[in-house]
Amino acid sequence: MRHGSLPDAEDLLLDEAETALDQGDPQRALTLCDGLLRSAPQHAGALFVRGDALRAMARLEEAAVAYRAAAVAEPEHASSWASLALTVFELLRFDEAQRASARALRADPASAEAWWVRALLAEWRGDMRARERALAHARWLDPGQYPIPVELSAEEIEDVVSTAVEELHPDIQEYLANVAILLEDMPSESILRSFDPPASPLELLGFFGGHPVGERGGDDPWSQLPPTIYLFRRNLERHAVDRDNLIEELRITVFHEVGHFLGLDEDDLGARGLD
């Protein structure tokens, strides 16, 4: 996002910020953008890169503000609208994501990112035909960024899960006898909002619902409900680079959620290589 009338110093500063971001240093990119914005508060390019830096730091609310400001500063810049759409989708603001993706496509019908957000929204609604149409557009426009995902059939996934469970200690297998392991396409909004802050619909690979083994019993009737492990198929497929990687991600996710069932927290799981 360049403006030919801007002083060379501003262009150089923005280039430096983009380079820092490319090199994996979003904090430096953010600092550089903030410096540029102090002298040019409506600099669309700096606002956009600021959004990218904040997004890289998982500061999604702030990233959404930066992308929106960039889009307002330069309304025909489709990437600002598309990045805003993706960010607010992850923040579970689906109506806003729909509007922003539509605005991106009005600015540029060839915005692959906007088509991908359209696909995500259709998937969230359960409209798989619309999902496939939007995905086809995204892949045609940018096949490197939006490749065809690796997939396993439900039967293949069941085999992988069964094999993973068989690897566990017999005592743990006995505990798991009354645990349902369910395969879902996507996490529900209620599951996502059970986290604080809410989890991204694109990042959650699995979820344990219920009380860990050591917390069951007592006078709480809810603790007697059977615990459930959920595996989220679409996110697992999106994170995998090939079939073997998908199988390994699935195994690790099973072990991760079994760990939660056994009462382990995220630090415990990370220490065991199951983060």
Residue 78 to residues 21, 101, 183: CA-CA distances in angstroms?
20, 9, 36
CA pair distance 205, 248, nearest whole angstrom: 12
Q: Is 274's pLDDT higher than 70?
A: no
Options 3.30.365.10, 3.20.20.70, 1.10.3720.10, 3.30.2010.20; CATH of 154-271: 3.30.2010.20
Contact criterion met (CB below 8 Å) for 94 and 104: no
DSSP 146: S
CA pair distance 78, 110, nearest whole angstrom: 9
pLDDT of residue 216: 54
CA pair distance 208, 198, nearest whole angstrom: 15
- List, in sequence order, every residue forming a beta bridge with 180; answer none if it has no partner: 228
Three-state DSSP class for residue 162: helix
CA pair distance 43, 32, nearest whole angstrom: 13
Query: Residue 272: in which H helix or E strand, if any?
Result: none
CA pair distance 164, 183, nearest whole angstrom: 15
pLDDT of residue 2: 52
- Residue 148 identity (one-letter amino acid): I
Architecture of domain 8-106 in this structure: Alpha Horseshoe (1.25)
- For residue 233, the Cα-to-chain-centroid distance in whole angstroms is 13
What is the rounded average pLDDT of the residues 137-154? 92
CA pair distance 226, 175, nearest whole angstrom: 11
Confidence class for position 222, pLDDT limits 50, 70, 90: very low
Listed by start position, the domains of the chain span 8-106, 154-271
> Which tens digit of pLDDT belongs to each residue from 259-272?
888 887 776 666 66
Full-model pTM: 0.87
The DSSP secondary structure of 175-243, one letter per residue, reads HGGG-EEEEESS--HHHHTTSSSPPPTTT--EEEES--GGG--TT-GGGGSPPEEEEEHHHHHHH-SSH
What is the rounded average pLDDT of the residues 161-172? 88
Task: Judge if 8-106 and 154-271 fold alike in CATH terms.
Answer: no
pLDDT above 90 coverage of the chain, percent = 71
CA pair distance 1, 49, nearest whole angstrom: 9
| 10 Cβ contact list (under 8 Å, min separation 6) | 36, 39, 40, 43, 46
- Residue 12 identity (one-letter amino acid): L
Contact criterion met (CB below 8 Å) for 88 and 102: no
Q: Is 146's pLDDT higher than 80?
A: yes
Confidence class for position 104, pLDDT limits 50, 70, 90: very high
Contact criterion met (CB below 8 Å) for 71 and 81: yes
> Which tens digit of pLDDT belongs to each residue from 21-44?
999 999 999 999 999 999 999 999
